[in-house]
């Protein structure tokens, strides 16, 4: 090996594209920048998100952050709080009556935190696996409330539309 034979490996060095050096080079005249416009000019750039003067999307959309829109309507109940209720059926109304959940709540979920000392029937409220086991171990049971049937559009039920003769 001699110093005059040292050269970089194939493909490691790339030749600089010489633009604006005649039509035969392939990058003559417009130098690969297309025709006219802001991007063809020197110093022609615009901000990220710039939409030509139109109000950009990041300013058109509302800023909400990471606040859940459904959080106020979903309540959590500890298993230890169930002992404050009278033995019987536990549903949304009984939890609201005992001030365990706010009146605005549409859903509730019971999670394991403490013990259940009473025999309770839980109806229409979600439970975690641990809470379900704790309620059943205390002699209680859980009833699933059937979801409402999907609404049927009246237009789908009408076969013969008025005004049309068959």
Q: What is the DSSP string of 105-143?
A: -SEEEEE-SS---S-EEEES-EE-HHHHHHHHHTT-EEE
> What pLDDT, on a 0 to 100 scale, did the predictor assign at position 90?
92
> What pLDDT, on a 0 to 100 scale, did the predictor assign at position 148?
58
Q: Report pTM.
A: 0.52
Mean pLDDT value of segment 12-37:
91
> What pLDDT, on a 0 to 100 scale, did the predictor assign at position 146?
63
> What pLDDT, on a 0 to 100 scale, did the predictor assign at position 86?
83
Mean pLDDT value of segment 62-82:
89
Find out whether 121 and 91 touch, Cβ atoms under 8 Å. Answer: no
Share of the chain above pLDDT 70, in %: 87
For 98-157, write each residue's pLDDT tens digit: 999 999 999 999 999 999 998 999 999 999 999 999 999 999 999 987 665 566 666 665
Residue 91 included in any domain? yes
Domain limits for position 115: 72-143
Residue 119 included in any domain? yes
Mean pLDDT value of segment 70-86:
91
Residue 90 included in any domain? yes
Find out whether 100 and 68 touch, Cβ atoms under 8 Å. Answer: no
By mean pLDDT, which of 7-11, 44-48, 162-166 is the weakest? 162-166
Q: How many structural domains does the chain have? A: 1
Residue 15 included in any domain? no
> What pLDDT, on a 0 to 100 scale, did the predictor assign at position 88?
85
Query: Encoding tokens for residue 141?
Result: 């049971």
The domain that holds 84 is classified in CATH as 3.100.10.10
Residue 154 included in any domain? no
Mean pLDDT of the chain: 87
Residue 162 included in any domain? no
Residue 38 included in any domain? no
- Structure-token match 């394991």, residue found: 112
Contacts of 29 (CB under 8 A, 6+ apart): 20, 23
> What pLDDT, on a 0 to 100 scale, did the predictor assign at position 1?
80
């Amino acid at each position: 090996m001699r110093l005059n034979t040292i050269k970089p490996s194939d493909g490691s060095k790339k030749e600089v594209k010489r633009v604006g050096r005649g039509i035969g080079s392939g990058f003559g005249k417009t130098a690969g920048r297309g025709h006219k416009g802001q991007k063809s000019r020197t110093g022609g750039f615009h901000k990220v998100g710039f939409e030509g003067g139109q109000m950009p999307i990041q300013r058109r959309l509302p800023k909400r952050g990471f606040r859940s829109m459904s959080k106020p309507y979903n309540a959590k109940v500890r298993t230890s709080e169930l002992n404050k209720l009278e033995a019987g059926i536990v549903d949304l109304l009984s939890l609201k009556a005992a001030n365990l959940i706010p009146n605005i709540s549409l859903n509730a979920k019971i999670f394991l935190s403490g013990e259940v000392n009473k025999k309770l029937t839980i109806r229409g409220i979600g439970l975690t696996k641990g809470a379900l086991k704790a309620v059943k171990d205390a002699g209680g049971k859980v009833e699933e409330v059937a979801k409402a049937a999907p609404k049927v559009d009246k237009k789908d039920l009408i076969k013969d539309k008025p005004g049309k003769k068959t």
